[in-house]
């Protein structure tokens, strides 16, 4: 689980450091970019199939979308690592307490936490 309070605390502790805020923003934006890659891939795979294009074209496009999603997932893993290091440097509890690793089970758990965070940000937006 991503700790919203620790993200807010990290932002507050870096309020005067524009470079740190830019880095935090980039990390948080990577979460939404990953969410968007998943959405794009899932939507595309529901819209198109072998009946819309050749099997080779379908597989090629699907593989390209999957590569893009994987790269974005790797970026998210790096972003969590950066945010956690910033927390450690500032004496703040970690943003993500789970294991940050390329290992499949840890990748999935981290991705689920990031997606839940993005969905909570959207659900709790100012209206």
Per the structure, how many domains does the chain have?
Answer: 1
User: pTM to 2 decimals?
Assistant: 0.91
Instruction: Quote the crossing angle between the two packed helices 18-47 and 104-123, to the nearest 10°.
Output: 100
Which tens digit of pLDDT belongs to each residue from 21-51? 999 999 999 999 999 999 999 999 989 877 7
Residue 96, strand partner residues: 2
CATH number for the domain including 111?
1.10.287
Distance of CA 14 to the CA centre of its chain: 21
Q: Note down the domain range covering 100.
A: 4-123
The predicted structure's pLDDT at residue 102: 81
């Amino acid at each position: 689980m991503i700790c919203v309070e620790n993200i807010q605390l990290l932002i507050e502790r870096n309020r005067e450091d524009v470079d740190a805020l830019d880095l935090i923003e980039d990390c948080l934006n990577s979460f939404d970019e990953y969410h968007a890659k998943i959405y794009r891939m899932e939507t595309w795979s529901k819209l198109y199939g072998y009946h819309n294009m050749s099997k080779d074209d379908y597989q090629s496009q699907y593989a390209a979308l999957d590569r893009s999603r994987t790269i974005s997932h790797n970026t998210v893993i790096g972003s969590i690592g950066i945010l956690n290091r910033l927390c450690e440097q500032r004496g703040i509890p970690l943003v993500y307490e789970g294991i940050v690793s390329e290992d499949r089970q840890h990748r999935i758990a981290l991705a689920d936490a990031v997606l839940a965070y993005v969905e909570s940000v959207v659900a709790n937006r100012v209206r």
